[in-house]
Structure 1
C-alpha cells in the first residue's frame, strides 16, 4: 500500500526520547511493576552513583551553581550557594532514602498483592489482545480508613 512519503514510518528515523520522557518511563514501569524486585531494579537506576538519574541531576545543579558563581551580580553568589547545597545535601538526602527503600524492596522479594502478571493470552475466538484479557480480576482495594474525629476547641 502506498502513502504520502511524509507519513511513511518505514523511512523515518527513530528519534531519541527526551530526558524527561525517559524518567517518565521509569515512573510508568513502577506503575506496571508486579513485584518488589522490579521496583528495586528501577530505583537502582535512579540512585546509581555514577550514572543514575539523581547523580545526573546533581551534576546539572552543580553546573548551574558554577555558572551563577561567576556572574558577579549581588544575588548570584547566594543562588550558587543554594544550588551547591541542593546538589550536595538535598539530593543526598533523597538519594540515601531511596537507596534504603530500594534495599528493603529487594530484600522482600514479594509480589504486589494488587497487581498480577498478565501473560497477554487471548482466547482463540478473540482477534486482539486488547479485546479480552484472560487474567483474573484484581482483588478489591482495602476500605479507606475512617477520617479522624474532629477536635473541639
Structure 2
C-alpha cells in the first residue's frame, strides 16, 4: 500500500461549511463508513461527508470518533482542532475479515480434514456463519414487513 494512502484530512470546507474527509485507502474508507460518514464518489475522486441534518455537536462527535479510530490503526489524520483527540479505541477485526480468513485457511489446507474444519465454521448449525446470515435475512424481512 502506498504510504500516501495512510494520510487523511477531516475538516470543515471553508466555502460550504460541510464536514468532509478526504484521502486514505479502502480500509480508511471502510472505517469512515462505520463511523457514520457517507461516501461521495466522483469520476476522479472519492471522499466522505457527514449525513445531512445532524447538529454541529453530532457532526463533531462523529468526526472525533473517526479521527480516533483511524489513528488507532496507524493513519495520519490532519483535522480541525475541534476533532483532534488522543483517544485510541481498541479495534476488532470486522466480520468480513474473519470470513475472508476462512478462505485463506482453505487455500492453505493440505488435507481434507483442514479444509473441512474451515468449512465447519460456515456450516455449523447453531452458530455457523450461514445460520447467522439466515438470522440477519429473517430480521431484515421482518423489518421490511413491518414497514407497512
TM-score (structure 1 length as normaliser): 0.39
Computing the radius of gyration from Cα coordinates, the structure with the larger value is: 1
Q: With CA pairs under 8 Å and 6+ residues apart, which has the higher RCO, 1 or 2?
A: 1
More strand by share: 2
